[in-house]
Amino acid sequence: MKDSLLARLIGLRKRANLSCKELSELIQRQDNYVSRVEKGRYPIPPAEDLERIARACGSSMEELFYETFESYYDDKEILEKFKKITPKGRDAIIALMVTMYENEEVA
């Protein structure tokens, strides 16, 4: 878990085009804080720091803890479309998904 979280932290920082020092300053920590976290020299940061890091990188805690950035955006897009469907349509989609899931478990 720690290695994958650190990899996602690095990915967020790089995607935001920030250096470790710049990100450390944005979250109001020592200049070398982010660098030391990324190198595993500090334990996993507390939730407050993780949230500050995510926000400073233009992201969210949800995205940070998602398995991959790509799957986060794919699922987010699906959810946004799902929200626009009528309640009856949602029920039909959920029923279809349940049926598909049950059939895959049997196979």
Q: What ranges do the domains of the chain cover?
A: 2-65, 69-106
Residue 105 CA to its chain's centroid (Å) = 28
Domain 2-65, CATH class in plain words:
mainly alpha
pTM of the predicted model as reported, rounded to 2 decimal places:
0.65
Lowest mean pLDDT segment, chosen from 31-45, 48-62, 80-94: 80-94
Please give the pLDDT value at position 45: 86
Give Cα separations from 10 to 20, 32, 34, 50, 102 (angstroms). Answer: 9, 14, 9, 12, 38
What tens digit of pLDDT does each residue of 35-53 get?
Answer: 999 998 888 888 899 999 9
Q: Are 6 and 40 in contact (CB under 8 A)?
A: yes
Please give the pLDDT value at position 91: 85
Q: What mean pLDDT is reported for the chain?
A: 86
